[in-house]
Amino acid sequence: MVLSDGSYTFRHALLQEAVYGDLLPGERSRTHAAYAARIKARPQGRGHDAKLAYHSMQSSDLVTALPAYLRAMDEAEKLGAPGSALQHVEQALSIWDAVPAADRPEGFDELRLLHEASYFAGTSGEPERAAAFARSATKSLTPDTSADRAAKTWRRLAETLLALEGTLDEAVAAIDRAWDLVKDTEPSGTRAWVLASRAGFLRILDQPEAALDSARTAVADAQAVGAAGAEASALVTLGTLADSRGDAAEAREWLRKAERKARDAGAPNTEIRATYFLALSYHDQAEFAEALEHSSRGVARAEEAGLSWSTFGLELRAGQLVLRYVMGDWPDESAGRAGRGVSSAVAARIQAIWAQFVVARGRFDHAAKLITGLRQHWIADIQIPLSAGGAGIELAYWRGEHAEAMRRAEDTIGWLERIEPGLLAGIRMAALGVSAAAALAADARVRGDHAAADAAVAAGERMLAHGRMCSVVGQPRSGTLGPEGRAWLARLEAAASCLTGRGDVAKWAAATEAFGYGAVYEQAICRWHEAEALLAADADAGPVLEAAHAVAVRLGAIPLRDAVRDLAHRARVELAGVEPAAPARAVTDPLTDRERDVLERVALGRTNRQVGEELYISEKTVSVHLSRVMAKLGASRRAEAVAIAYDRGLLTAPAP
What φ, ψ does residue 328 adopt, rounded to 5°?
Answer: 80, 25
State how far the alpha carbon of 582 is from the alpha carbons of 204, 554, 558, 578, 579, in Å: 59, 25, 20, 12, 9
Residue 566 has pLDDT above 80, yes or no: yes
pLDDT band at 650 (very low <50, low <70, confident <90, very high): confident
- Residues whose CB is less than 8 angstroms from the CB of residue 141 and which lie 6 or more positions away in sequence, other chains included: 111, 149, 150, 153
pLDDT at 16: 61
Task: State whether CATH 1.10.10 applies to domain 364-570.
Answer: no
Q: Tell me what the mean pLDDT of segment 52-79 comes to.
A: 91
Separation between Cα atoms, residue 590 and residue 47, nearest integer Å? 82
Residue 31 has pLDDT above 50, yes or no: yes
- For the stretch 368-401, pLDDT in tens is 999 999 999 998 888 999 999 999 999 999 999 9
Residue 132 has pLDDT above 70, yes or no: yes
Q: For residue 127, give the amino acid letter.
A: P
Q: 618 and 627 in contact (C-beta within 8 Å)?
A: no
Separation between Cα atoms, residue 427 and residue 466, nearest integer Å? 8
pLDDT at 583: 47
Q: 272 and 302 in contact (C-beta within 8 Å)?
A: yes
477-479-483 Cα angle (round to 5):
100
Same fold, 186-327 and 364-570: yes
Separation between Cα atoms, residue 157 and residue 169, nearest integer Å? 12
Q: Tell me what the mean pLDDT of segment 442-471 comes to.
A: 93
349-309-292 Cα angle (round to 5):
75
Say which range, 112-121, 266-275, 412-421, has the weakest mean pLDDT. Answer: 412-421
DSSP state of 309: B
DSSP state of 287: -
First to last CA, the chain: 68
pLDDT band at 38 (very low <50, low <70, confident <90, very high): confident
pLDDT at 586: 41
Separation between Cα atoms, residue 450 and residue 440, nearest integer Å? 11
- Give residue 649's region: left, alpha or beta (phi > 0; psi -120 to 50): left
**For the chain, domain boundaries:** 186-327, 364-570, 593-647
Residue 14 has pLDDT above 80, yes or no: no
Residue 335's Cβ-side half-sphere holds a number of Cα atoms within 13 Å equal to 19
Query: In whole numbers, what is the pLDDT of the chain averaged over residues?
Result: 90
Nearest to 285 by CA among 325, 320, 249: 249
Say which range, 242-256, 275-289, 601-615, has the weakest mean pLDDT. Answer: 601-615
- For the stretch 469-513, pLDDT in tens is 999 886 665 557 889 999 999 999 999 999 998 899 999 999 999
CATH code: domain 186-327 is 1.25.40.10
H or E element, residue 2:
strand 2-4
3 state SS of 124: strand
Say which range, 40-49, 416-425, 581-590, has the weakest mean pLDDT. Answer: 581-590
Separation between Cα atoms, residue 302 and residue 381, nearest integer Å? 21
- For the stretch 541-564, pLDDT in tens is 999 999 999 999 999 999 999 999
pLDDT band at 18 (very low <50, low <70, confident <90, very high): low
In percent, the amount of the chain with pLDDT more than 90 equals: 67
pLDDT band at 617 (very low <50, low <70, confident <90, very high): confident
3 state SS of 648: coil
pLDDT at 651: 76
Q: 285 and 98 in contact (C-beta within 8 Å)?
A: no
Separation between Cα atoms, residue 230 and residue 307, nearest integer Å? 19
Q: Tell me what the mean pLDDT of segment 419-435 comes to.
A: 91
Q: Tell me what the mean pLDDT of segment 297-317 comes to.
A: 94
Q: For the chain, how long is the longest CA-to-CA vector?
A: 107
Q: Which CATH architecture has domain 593-647?
A: Orthogonal Bundle (1.10)
What DSSP line would sit under 214-237, residue for residue? HHHHHHHHHHHHT-HHHHHHHHHH
3 state SS of 281: helix
Separation between Cα atoms, residue 175 and residue 134, nearest integer Å? 13
